[in-house]
Structure formats: structure tokens, C-alpha cells
Structure 1
Amino acid sequence: MTTVGDYHVFQAGDVTLQSGVVFRSMRLAYKTYGTLNARKDNVIVYPTSFGAQHTDTEWLVQHGGALDPDRYFIVIPNLFGNGLSSSPSNSREMLGAEPFPAISYHDAVAIQRRLLQEQFAISKIALVYGWSMGGMQAYHWAACYPDMVERAAIVCGSARCSPYNHVFLEGVKAALTADPAYRDGRFVAKPSAGLRAMGRVYAGWAMSHAYYRDEIWREAGFDSLEDYLAGSWDNAFSRRDANDLLAQIGIWQNGDISRCPEFGGDIDRALAAIKARVLLMPGRTDRYFDFHDNEDEVGRLTNAKLVELHPIPSIHGHRAGNPVNNAADRAFINAEISAILQI
């Protein structure tokens, strides 16, 4: 383990990925909050979402909240491709002329599991909590390591990337890679126009029809729709390396808990492997992860100790699951997570 700024890095060594490619000197960045108790049974794993680093998600870790560091030992592992863990932007010297290899959610949770076991000797997880791509990781955790995960909360996520979700991401990729800085499969400079176009595509999908119809953006202080788009979305992804974003889009599009030798592509078998108490919290107006996908998954979670489907009653679309500045949705999520932690 090494320490960089406010986080640590787990040196995973040479890792054979699900694809068969060997990733040399793979690194997992993570941050912990709170104290691991003597029984080591107060662990919460909170994986990051698309383009996010631990600093973007730690707002949910707060004293008196659902993810309370006074009660729990919370670990935020940074997903590969986010610029802190192994990513195109920090692996060029190591990879040389080789392209950044495709990484799967199965690869990611396998390294996260190694971190918990090798660094902290943790064998039980009280809760894996995740939003969006973090929710997909939570699902993978529950399916791949059913004897380790006691509870899984999937917020605006699903067991696999749906065709509709895949098409959305194709639009995002097309907008981003149309920039002239994209050459021979990678960006050779910052694609400012492509990043702005990507933000505009995201704006239409991230929020709901009702959000725009009722001009909810005015609550954030914007005077016009254009001001909102320019202020909230034009630079939303410019702080991230574009090659990193493409790597994470690849993980997202290929996400499927059944896509491993153990399950052989059988989604019913993968879902039936889950033993945890499962809380599915789709956004009622989410266009990325439609709540009907979670409805369909409920009946297939045949061996889960508990399955609850509680859609977030919000018009904030996908962002309902990450309500940094949305008190109502934040209260809903905190109450649901607090409740399942008591079961």
C-alpha cells in the first residue's frame, strides 16, 4: 500500500484480466472512512460511478447519515479508468504503444475483494452500496461473492447494460470521438468540442421530461435553459481525461453479471447466485437504467434473503440517485439505506 494525497493505492501486481490480457502492475486507488471494528463486521463498500473519483461521492459519507463513519468502516474503491486507479491517463509509460486493455466489472470487483482481504483481512461486507456504474458493481459483488456480501443496495443501476442504455452510450461516444483530436483510436489532445458535445448529449438523457417541462433548473439559480445547459453540462466532463472516459464507457457497455465462466452468460443463474438482502432503488424517471429492468430482476433473485424494490419518486431522472443538492431525494435514499442496515 502507498499513500497519495488523501487516498491510498493497493498495488495489485500483474493481473490476468477476464479478457486474458495481463495488466502489469495494476493499481487500485481507494479511501477509507471510520474505523474497522474488532469483529470486522461493520464494512460498507461504496464503488464510484462514471467519471467519478472518491471526492465526488464522499458527500454521502457523513456523521448521522446512512453511511456514518462513526458506525461503519467505509471503503470507496475508485473504478479503473477514473484517473486515480489504473487508467489510460496514468498507464502510458507502463503500456508503451499498447492500447489500454478492456477491463470488466468482474475484473474490478475481483481486485476490490483482494484489497479487502489482503489489506484488512475482511471476509464479510455489511453493505455494498452503489449508484449508476457503482450500482452495477454492487450487483457484481453480490453475484460473484455471495457468501461475502450481506446486503447490496443498487441505486439507479442494473444487473447488465440494457440495449437502450448501450445505444445512449453510443451517442455519447459518437459526440466525443467526432472531435478532431481523436486519431487512431485515442485522443492526442484535449477534445474541448467533443467534451462539450458529450455534455449536451448527457443533459437530455440525465434529467427527465418533467424536469425540463417544469423548469426545475431555476431552483439552482439559472435564468434560462441555455444558461443551465452551459453552466451545468458544457464543462461537466472537461475535468476528466477523454481516454479515461472512453475506457469507462467500455466497462459500462459490457457490464453483465452473467458474463463470466461461472455463469456462462446465463442471467437467471447469475441472479439466483445472490444470497444477500437486496435493495433495488431505480429512479422513477431514470432514462439510463429503466426501473422496468429492476422489476424484471426481482423475480429472478430467487435465493436472496430479501428483495425490496423501492423506486425513487423523483423527476430528477438519473440524478435522483446522486442528489448532492436535492434534499428530498437525499432524504429518501438515506431512509432506505438506514432501514436495510437494520435488517
Structure 2
Amino acid sequence: MTDFETFSLGRVALQSGATMPDMRLSYKTYGQLNATRDNAIVYPTFYSGSHVDNEWLIGEHMGLDPREYFIIVPNMFGNGVSSSPSNNPPPYDRGRFPHVTLYDNVAMQHRLVTEKFGIESLKLVTGWSMGAMQAFHWAAMYPRMVERILPICGAARCSRHNFVFIEGLKAPLLLDPEFKDGFYDAPPTRGMRAAARVFVGWGFSQAFLRQRLDMEAMGYGSLEDFIIQFWEGDFLKKDANNILSMMWSWQHGDISANSLHQGNFDRALGSITAKAIVMPGRTDLYFPPEDSEYEVSKMPNAQLRPIESVWGHFAGGPAANAVDVKFIDNAVREILAM
């Protein structure tokens, strides 16, 4: 039994030039679409996460309350639930799975929203990390449809510094002898463990580790225990090709990299007419607040709302502490009331 539905997209031409014969977008909905179809929210998934991993911000008496809103959580391509290297049939299987951009993701999500549900306007698009990147894409690609966005610990494009960090993540996987150009017989566990350890110094901030919050707040017995259980444990549950596919999408995330905006990043930001609260993490090492400050300065209806937290990138995600979750939830309530 699955707890999600799948929308068949048929033949899809991707930005990369590849044509997928039968692409599939899996999703889960929470709540009911009202008669006027004007209570819909789109909440895309993040890097390596699925719809289940987004549920921490959905619930009765929260901003994303399914009693009031119809919340659609589309699974990003490459995450193992929607079309991905691990589940796509040949010839575009495993190491041959084509590059998929965030533009491709959002264009197919738009098809789901309009063709499946007949929705013409969205109350809000929100998300964390790569989910936030997709929220920016939604607002830049469909400005007349998106009323509000709330990107959490993400950016409108992947910075050069972020790109280089991801290159360091990819290397251990590609160099593992078991990887075999993506056609491995057994999971390349050494590469996966090594990639997880590269992540360790980036997901949380220096202050987080200095204050030993991995032990004091998260309950791990030692730093090594934290590395093995939280980081290696999570990576080993994933498929290596899926991980690499989403890394590529992350690196090439850019709201202006399409025929609509033709590489003009400032123009793409200026096209975002949606009301926006942009929420970087003050100590986020992936998407620093300086990038968000620039983005907000070019957006006509945006305000900057940093999460003042030492939890780094995870101030905005499912591992966050109760204080940060409340801060984010309050912002969700605020923007929906605008």
C-alpha cells in the first residue's frame, strides 16, 4: 500500500533535450479543495526528501492547516517516488537517467495543479531548501497564478559557492569502484558514507557544533555517533543515482535559466509579483542570508525574515527545534493573512 498518488505526464521534453516516454509525478494531498478552488497550497519536497518528510509543517492548529487549505506536496523528480533513476525503465534508467532542472519540476507540477485539479490560483507556494528553490521558480514562471511565496532556507539560484560544495559531495560517490558509472550491482556504500561525512560540516553551523547541540539537543552520545546515525544512516537509505540526480538539479537551479527570462536573473526576480516572506537561516552555510538580501531587493513585494538560529540550514527543516518551527509557522500564518 502507498500513501501517495501518481500523475502520468506522458511524453515529456526536458530542458536537457532528453524526451522521457512516460514521466510520472507522485504527490500527496492534505485537506479538501473547496468549491471555488481557491484554497490550494503547493509545498514541494526538498533534496532527498519525500512527501512524508514535509509533514512536520502540516497539521491542525498550524499555519498549513488541512481543515482550511488543500495542500499539495509534489515529489521532486529523482527522489525515488516520482520518476527517478531508481524506478525508471530502460533506456533512461539508473546511470542513464537524464538531467532534470527545477524548471522541469515546476512545469510538471503546474500541469498537475491545472490538469488534475483545475486550479487557477495558488494561495501559497512554500518549501524548505530545494523546496524553497522551487517556490521561487513557481513565482517567476507563473506570476499571475501564485499569490504568495514563503521560501525557507533556499535561493532563487544556486550560488557559485554552493555549486562548488556540491562538487565535493559528488566526488566520493563517483570515485567509489562499486559505483560503475551508475550501473552498480550493489550499493556503493563507501562512497555514500564518505559523501555523508562531507555533509556533516555544512548542514549545521559552527555554533551548533561548538555548543554540542548534536548531543545536548538531539541526544546523540558523541560527535561520531551523530555522524554515523544522523548523516551516514540517512544517506545509506537512499539510492546513489537518485542522490546524484538531485545534486545536479540543485546545482543548476536558476529561475532565469529558461526561454522566459533568458538568463536575466534581475529581470526574473522583478517578475515575482507575489507577496513574499523570504526566510534564510542566519547561520545557513548553503544559502546564506546575503543571497536572500539581494533577491529581496529586486522583488517588488518581498520582505526578508531571517531565522535567528544556530541550527544552520536545518533551522528550516524537519530536524529543527521547537523555537524555529514556531517562528516559521508564525510566518506561514502571517503571509496567509496578507
Range class of TM-score, shorter chain: over 0.9
Spell out the pairing of 1:122-201 with structure 2 (5 A cutoff).
Answer: 122-184=119-181, 186-201=183-198
The amino acid that maps onto 1:246 is L
**How many residues get paired?**
337
| 8 Å Cα contact 2:309-2:324 kept in structure 1 | yes
**1:130 counterpart SS class:** strand
**1:88 counterpart SS class:** coil
In structure 1, the partner of 2:201 is: 204
In structure 2, the partner of 1:230 is: 228
| 8 Å Cα contact 2:54-2:318 kept in structure 1 | no
State the distance in 1 between where 2:295 and 2:237 align.
35
State the distance in 1 between where 2:79 and 2:178 align.
20
Cα offset for 1:323?
4.2
| 8 Å Cα contact 1:258-1:265 kept in structure 2 | yes
In structure 2, the partner of 1:273 is: 271
Cα offset for 1:185?
5.0
Cα offset for 1:205?
0.4
| 8 Å Cα contact 1:323-1:329 kept in structure 2 | no
List gaps (5 residues or longer) in structure 2: none
Cα offset for 1:299?
1.5
| 8 Å Cα contact 2:95-2:181 kept in structure 1 | no
| 8 Å Cα contact 1:48-1:134 kept in structure 2 | yes
State the distance in 2 between where 1:16 and 1:105 align.
14
| 8 Å Cα contact 1:67-1:74 kept in structure 2 | yes
Cα offset for 1:92?
3.2
Q: Percent identical across equivalent pairs?
A: 48
In structure 1, the partner of 2:79 is: 82
The amino acid that maps onto 2:292 is N
| 8 Å Cα contact 1:7-1:31 kept in structure 2 | yes
State the distance in 2 between where 1:126 and 1:171 align.
38
State the distance in 2 between where 1:122 and 1:325 align.
32
In structure 2, the partner of 1:286 is: 284
Which stretch of the first structure deviates more once superposed, 206-215 or 181-190?
Answer: 181-190
Cα offset for 1:189?
2.5
State the distance in 1 between where 2:319 and 2:179 align.
33
State the distance in 2 between where 1:144 and 1:66 align.
25
In structure 2, the partner of 1:311 is: 306
Does 2:28 align with 1:36?
A: no
In structure 2, the partner of 1:63 is: 60
In structure 1, the partner of 2:262 is: 264
| 8 Å Cα contact 2:94-2:183 kept in structure 1 | no
Does 2:10 align with 1:49?
A: no
State the distance in 1 between where 2:265 and 2:320 align.
36
Instruction: Supply the RMSD in Å over aligned alpha carbons.
Output: 1.4
Cα offset for 1:238?
1.2
Spell out the pairing of 1:101-116 with structure 2 (5 A cutoff).
Answer: 101-116=98-113
Cα offset for 1:180?
1.4
The C-alpha deviation readout for 1:257-292, integer Å capped at 9, x for no partner, is 000011110001111111100110000000000110
In structure 1, the partner of 2:335 is: 340
State the distance in 2 between where 1:224 and 1:324 align.
18
The C-alpha deviation readout for 1:134-162, integer Å capped at 9, x for no partner, is 00000000000000000011101111000
| 8 Å Cα contact 1:141-1:149 kept in structure 2 | yes
Q: In the superposition, relative to structure 1, how do residues 98 and 207 fare at CA in structure 2: closer, same or farther (>3 Å)?
A: closer
Q: In the superposition, relative to structure 1, how do residues 65 and 93 fare at CA in structure 2: closer, same or farther (>3 Å)?
A: same
Q: In the superposition, relative to structure 1, how do residues 97 and 127 fare at CA in structure 2: closer, same or farther (>3 Å)?
A: closer
The amino acid that maps onto 1:318 is H
The C-alpha deviation readout for 1:164-216, integer Å capped at 9, x for no partner, is 10011011101222221122355442011111111111111001000111101
State the distance in 2 between where 1:287 and 1:243 align.
25
In structure 1, the partner of 2:325 is: 330
State the distance in 1 between where 2:113 and 2:240 align.
30
State the distance in 2 between where 1:209 and 1:85 align.
35
Cα offset for 1:220?
1.8
TM-score normalised according to structure 1 size: 0.95
State the distance in 1 between where 2:187 and 2:279 align.
36
| 8 Å Cα contact 2:42-2:125 kept in structure 1 | yes
| 8 Å Cα contact 2:314-2:320 kept in structure 1 | no
**1:299 counterpart SS class:** helix
State the distance in 2 between where 1:100 and 1:323 align.
28
**1:184 counterpart SS class:** helix
